[in-house]
Copies of this chain bind each other. A is one copy, B any other.
Amino acid sequence: LNKADVARQLLTGCATSPAKTRGEAFAPSNIALCKYWGKRDDDLNLPMTSSVSISLGDLGTRTALSMAEGADTVTLNGEVLARDSTFALGVSRFLDLVRPHRAAGFRVETVNSIPTAAGLASSASGFAALALALDDLFGWRLDPKRLSILARLGSGSAARSVLKGFVEWRAGDSPDGMDSFAEALPERWPDFRIGLLTVSSRPKAVGSREAMRRTRETSALYHVWPAIVERDLALIKEAVSARDFDRLGRTAESNALNMHATSLGAWPPVLFWLPESVALMHRIWALREDGPAVYFTMDAGPNIKLLFLAAETAVVKSLFPEVHIIAPFG
């Protein structure tokens, strides 16, 4: 089974020609509170474990799509991309899954509202918006489950970006991944805040795909990761449902540190942190000793994402003047 097979299966009975001249969609970026770390299928982006994220409101990707004979053209924030750029190649490869015939081309206009240099991955919102825009263009009206699976074929964490608020992506266990899709949790938490602290927006020395692979294959610590996720996933869902922010923050921070720890155990070792990342961590821990419930999470990179409630906004701003604060529920 490869991506093309799964896409064919997923879109059985769906129209192969556009229902309108222009499809359009927005998908939010998302930050995992319980991380997706390690694939059970590299091609289908099937995860070893389930994960939980929070979608970032109106920070994300807006994509408009139309068809035209010939090669695809991809623009990003108004700029036409070279056909051999990583982003354009990734988009075209994804569009191959739904391309009605060989000569069919797409015009893809992508606008990211993620602040440049925020160090947020744009692949999650990017592929989610692309999947949603395809659905709009072809008039498929796929259910959320199928949209999530389609987005996942572009990038694992895109499975979560087709939804808003708190989102759980269930790992599933079928080889075709038809049971591996995201669902929204019912809770809204308007006071929930995320603070982006950007240490570096340079490309990472080791990409997440390679880091995941190396960790899964060489780190003995990774053997415990599925058990850690099982524990943390339950704690996070309980904490969200009980509005227990301390438990949520503690669990999310611990989950991120455990994820980074598994990579340290790989060989060659993978350390995403820069000196500034460690300086920030020590500052957050020192702050917490003084009382304020400010926690953090980190993805496969050096940047820090603070987790706090609206009441701590002033404290956070005064201690981290460079912070970019997001209110995921608007």
Contacts and interface: CB of A to CB of B under 8 A. Distances in A.
Given A220-B227, A221-B221, A279 B275 contact: yes
Q: Which of A220, A267, A281 has the most CB of B within 10 A?
A: A220
B264 A273 contact: no
A242 interface: no
B220 A228 contact: yes
A57 interface: no
A224 interface: yes
B260 A264 contact: yes
B278 A271 contact: yes
A310 interface: no
A299 interface: no
Interface string A220-262: 1101100110010000000000000000001001100110111
Nearest to A260: B264
Given A258-B221, A267-B254, A269-B257, A278 B281 contact: no
Interface string A267-307: 11101011111110110010000000000000000000000
A254 to B, nearest CB: 5
B261 A265 contact: yes
Contact of A275 (B228, B265, B278): B278
How many copies are assembled? 2
A271 B267 contact: no
B274 A265 contact: no
Interface in A174-231: 220-221, 223-224, 227-228, 231
A265 B260 CA distance: 9
Contacts of A260: 264
A271 B254 CA distance: 12
Nearest to A258: B265
A186 B265 CA distance: 30
Given A224-B224, A275-B279, A277-B278, A254 B258 contact: no
A260 B276 CA distance: 19
A136 B82 CA distance: 79
Given A221-B221, A221-B224, A257 B253 contact: no
A294 B314 CA distance: 46
Contacts of A257: 264-265, 269
A221 B253 CA distance: 15
Contacts of A267: 250, 254
Closest 4 A/B residue pairs (Cβ): A275-B275, A261-B261, A261-B264, A275-B279
Given A261-B264, A274-B278, 18 more contacts: A220-B231, A221-B221, A221-B228, A224-B224, A254-B265, A254-B267, A260-B264, A261-B262, A261-B265, A264-B264, A271-B281, A273-B278, A275-B275, A275-B276, A275-B278, A275-B279, A277-B278, A278-B278
